[in-house]
Amino acid sequence: MANNKKICVVTNYRTGSTAFTLLKHEEYGVPYGAEAFAPQRPEGLGRIPSRREIMDGYKIFQYEILDLIQSTPNYITELQRDNTEICFKIMPNQIDSGHLREVVKACDKVYYLYRRDFIAQCKSWIAVRRFGDFGNTGFESPSRNFTLDKVKEQHLARAGLSEKVIVEIDPDDPVLNGGYGEVTIPNLIRQLKDCYLEMAKLYKEIPGELICMEDYFTRELKRPYNKQVNFTKEIEIEDFDVESLFTIDNT
């Protein structure tokens, strides 16, 4: 535990990954890096400040300069430095496979977080992508500014429950059928599958601690989101055996 200063959660979308990463950030006592390698890279890493600090403190507003400062190679270089401390999550489709392996190899502790119920995961991903309401969890969030405390309120129920969030999804909604470009039901399902296939390949190359969302959160670590998603009609989602992907044959 004492030597683990770079903690990486390799995961997929809608796996409780924000809550899991927040809890691990507190457990290891290192800075929270969120989705450090997401395209927008809002958080800092090592000597590279967060995007908010760059734009406010350094008065840099040109996105070309921001992207140069927070480029993937620069982030990986910072991650590889001996004194860098961070706890972050990464989805396999956020960077190319070669860089993904560099990132995981640079970390002291690696978790692989998956969700057993693939159909429920797909429905959750479809619903949140339709409206983009990632922070609308049904938990109270009294903090006025978007700070780490607010993120914890939104995802760890630190301030209690608010009114239950009810979301209705129409599978025939034009938005989910090409109205947002690639945000279609088949594409979203395929995205989850592709991420799992890449996760499993990486797990067999660079083993880490395998965590199932449904098993981990049965303990009193986090309440389920105070949220209910209703589909106006059933959608056809073929089940996908996620767990079998991570079986390592040692014979």
Alpha helices in 44-117 (DSSP H): 51-56, 63-69, 72-80, 97-105
Helix segments in 95-216, DSSP class H: 97-105, 118-131, 148-156, 185-205, 213-216
Q: What is the pLDDT of residues 184-220, one digit of tens each?
A: 999 999 999 999 999 999 999 999 999 999 999 986 6
169-184 residue pLDDT tens: 999 999 999 877 789 9
Angle made by CA atoms 70, 72, 75, in degrees to the nearest 5: 65
* Positive or negative torsion for Cα 74, 80, 85, 86: positive
User: What is the tens place of the pLDDT at every residue in 54-88?
Assistant: 777 666 666 566 676 788 999 999 999 999 999 99
Question: Cβ of 49: how many Cβ atoms within 10 Å?
Answer: 17
Per-residue pLDDT, 120: 96
pLDDT at 54: 77
Q: Go through the domains of the chain in sequence order and give each one's CATH number.
A: 6-239 (3.40.50)
